[in-house]
A = this chain, B = another copy of it.
Amino acid sequence: MARLTHLDDQGAARMVDVGAKAETARSAVAEGRIRMSAEALEALMSGSGPKGDALAAARIAGIMAAKRTGELIPLCHPLGLESVTVEFSRESHAISVTAKASLTGKTGVEMEAMTAASVALLTLYDMGKAIDRGMVIEGVRLIEKTGGKSGIWTAPD
């Protein structure tokens, strides 16, 4: 059976030793979406761009969270990210997010991209919840990663 690399032989959690891995250029892209009522969607989109800071707040929250991934996720390595971007796009009943992160280092940045996407979506929830408490975050997943021993990986479909 597959074993979790984050646990040692006795099952104890550990931060895996990446000291012997090579420093390579690495990147990761994650996406997700928050489904909401037409009214909440309209308010969040109108509260952005010329009219307000709504998407800007969520974007910045995502970028800042990416930098703190190592503090939030217990067994993640602290990383010196070299870039982070967070983009939103309007869907018919949702706002979707795409987060990208990259660095030159010994371990990948999947968690940084996943964390940026999640916190950006949580921030949208926070801003819209007075209008629609029933918003749902869904489809948060890795889309692509590059670098490291395993090279390029792309999500099926």
Contact = CB atoms under 8 A, between A and B. Distances in A.
Interface of A: 1-8, 10-19, 25, 32, 39-40, 42-44, 46-47, 49-54, 56-57, 59-61, 63-68, 70-87, 102-106, 110-111, 114-115, 118-119, 121-123, 125-131, 133-142, 145, 153, 155-156
A156 B17 CA distance: 27
Contact of A61 (B39, B66, B73, B128): B73
Given A7-B53, A73-B61, A81 B15 contact: yes
A5 B68 CA distance: 23
B17 A126 contact: no
B126 A6 contact: yes
Given A57-B56, A71-B68, A123-B73, A15 B141 contact: no
By Cβ-Cβ distance, the 10 closest A-B pairs, closest first, are A11-B52, A17-B83, A56-B56, A137-B140, A50-B50, A13-B53, A53-B56, A15-B84, A19-B82, A138-B138
A134 B155 contact: yes
A54 to B, nearest CB: 6
Contacts of A122: 72-73, 111, 114-115, 118
Contact of A47 (B7, B46, B61, B80): B7
Contacts of A133: 110, 142, 145, 153, 155
13 contacts: A3-B47, A4-B130, A11-B52, A12-B56, A18-B83, A49-B50, A50-B50, A65-B72, A111-B126, A118-B122, A133-B155, A135-B141, A138-B139
